[in-house]
Structure 1
């Protein structure tokens, strides 16, 4: 089978298509014929060797897929051969950019007949991350002001739609003006272009000097420490990534300035297979079917063009998901 392999960390040249044996299927796993994979920033970090969790090389990239059940391992009874599914590929979110992938059954999301297999690859990571940020890590309330950095990206757009449904006042930032329009269409009240406007001053203006109740930051670098200045006293920052670089600032001193707090978030800690996880999956699938949550697809690439796909994502021009077409069955 074809697979995207990284032998050692490095630049885009480290992405290679190799012919590998089909994965062995263990108890509790499901073998999936991959139709589409989705590119995420974590894939880039794993290729570069800077992902926070350890990665053993060589490795197959890809943590989010859609496809069809090919075979069930011992102990798996709930899924049928040929059934369309979406999935995270496991706790390490690897091995998905391949013709076939073995996935622990608790990470599998059965799809309703009405859901397009292409669209299915775009929703699991972004929409479940957004849901658990707003309803597990935080308890969003009507009228709360929320600042979403990188609001034009996939997670930002999912957050916008779910926060709008919760009645929040949504403020976002983008790196370029071109990514501002879609968040506004999805329900954001104001979108700030960071290279032309001071986002702290803009948030204070938008909230009549009160500050945001919650900031969700996926950028890190110098954006993270400045985000605390945009909070109300006792407000909260949730950091979900460092796409702009690792931050370096005296965190304890910053927290004491306004009695604010900082927490981290990883989707995997919502425990796939748990009642919490299953409830969120059911709600997300339902609102997608009802047309209340959209996950736009920015571009689609063939598996053989994985270098181009990651380069496109690294350029930060994507508003929505970047997909990798793997299989031929549609």
Structure 2
């Protein structure tokens, strides 16, 4: 038996239970992992509440991202051995546990230069940033990007990576303290959306033209002003809805406001093969090892204190990535 954070019903933090679970031995194509560090992602809250588009059958262990050591290897697996350090951003939950079974196709080997904590804090968030700026909309030198939730885990990776590409970055945050964080991580302009109008600032910074791309994980609350921040033929890239779902997209509005492009991006459609997963992880690890990116771990919690972490994140008290320790 191992300890895990489970839910038997969807709901608030009270639904989270610290329980004993049976893991068992891996079947064909599976690995048994012993977790060494576990990542938090905002989608964990959405799953807990039952509002994420793809939900697990209940009861379920939460969490999708972790670093681990391989304890056992199922039949039919090559290239991964007992004792190997691995990391993953899985398609289904199970990471909020001391150990788990997982399909070997979802894990990647960790390079020696990447620590377990960095991997746990980076896999989902870093690979999200990777596909957004390299394969969803590849921002170019001299362009301007508006990044929402810029002080979060994905947001800080976006700011750093875009800056390294020579892109001018306008980041939005929810407090003045977080403005300093993003300015230290690649943003050229920081906007407190609670006290400042990011649409007006985007227009001012671009001399009335508008930004080339918006990377948005906020959703409903920022949508209209984000659309109005874009230049003609600009790209609205939505990859999350922390404030609630977007309104129905009006194609006529996109046309009238500048022949704009809109995409609802999801990592699972940018990792349709094992090769895409490996390439994305390799690009991320190389950027971290080479100093192009740094993983900002803003806070750490013991796994059994997961309810405190969920509350802190939901109330905007965190910065950067959050890691659970075992």
What's the CA shift for 1:55?
2.8
Shift in Å, 1:280:
2.0
* Cα shift at 1:272: 6.0
Distance 2:273 2:88 in 1: 12
Flag as ranges the 4+ runs of structure 1 deviating above 4 A: none
Unmatched tracts of structure 2, length 5 or more: none
Q: How does 1:115-194 map to 2 (within 5 A)?
A: 115-194=114-193
For 2:141 and 2:308, locate their aligned partners in 1 and report how far apart those are by CA, in whole Å: 41
Q: Equivalent residue for 2:23?
A: 22
Residues 225-265 of structure 1 deviation map (CA, whole Å, 9 limit, x = unaligned): 22110000111101111101223355224212221121011
CA distance in 2, matches of 1:218, 1:186: 18
CA distance in structure 2 between the partners assigned to 1:250 and 1:167 by the alignment: 31
- 1:87 partner SS: strand
**Contact map agreement 1:107 1:273 (CA 8 A) in 2:** no
Aligned to 1:207: 206
RMSD between aligned residues: 1.4
Distance 1:23 1:206 in 2: 57
Report what 1:42 is aligned to: 43
2:70 aligned counterpart, secondary structure:
strand
Q: CA deviation at 1:172?
A: 0.9
**Partners of 1:6 and 1:14 within 8 A in 2:** yes
Contact 2:39 2:121 in 1 (8 A): yes
CA displacement, residues 277-304 of structure 1 (integer Å, 9 cap, x when unaligned): 3222112111211222111111111111
SS in 1 for 2:112: coil
Structure 1 position 75, deviation (Å): 1.5
- Given that 1:225 and 1:249 are in contact with CA atoms closer than 8 Å, whether structure 2 keeps it comes out as no
The reply on whether 1:82 has 2:83 as its aligned counterpart is yes
Q: Which residue does 1:312 correspond to in 2?
A: 312
Instruction: Check whether the contact 2:3–2:97 (CA below 8 A) recurs between aligned residues.
Output: yes
Query: Quick one: distance in 2 between partners of 1:285 and 1:216?
Result: 22
1:106: which partner in 2?
Answer: 105
Q: Take 1:82 and 1:54, find their aligned partners in 2: how far apart are those partners?
A: 32
Contact in 1 for aligned 2:298/2:320 (Cα 8 Å)? yes
- Structure 1 gaps of 5+ residues are none
- Could you tell me how far apart the structure 2 residues matched to 1:208 and 1:282 are? 38
Is 1:289 paired with 2:289? yes
| Corresponding residue for residue 322 of structure 1 | 322
State the alpha-carbon separation in 2 of the partners of residues 243 and 166 from structure 1.
27
TM-score, with normalisation over the residues of structure 1? 0.94
2:214/2:230 contact within 8 Å kept: yes
Q: Distance in 1 between matches of 2:135 and 2:230?
A: 20
Q: Distance in 2 between matches of 1:293 and 1:161?
A: 6
Partner Cα separation in structure 2 for residue 323 and residue 95 of structure 1:
15
TM-score, length basis structure 2: 0.95
1:254 matched residue in structure 2: 253
Following TM superposition, by how much is the alpha carbon of 1:314 offset from its aligned partner in structure 2, in angstroms?
0.9
State the Cα distance separating 1:276 from its structure 2 match. Answer: 2.8
Provide the C-alpha distance between the structure 1 equivalents of 2:253 and 2:55, rounded to a whole number of angstroms: 29
Which residue number in structure 2 is paired with residue 3 of structure 1? 4
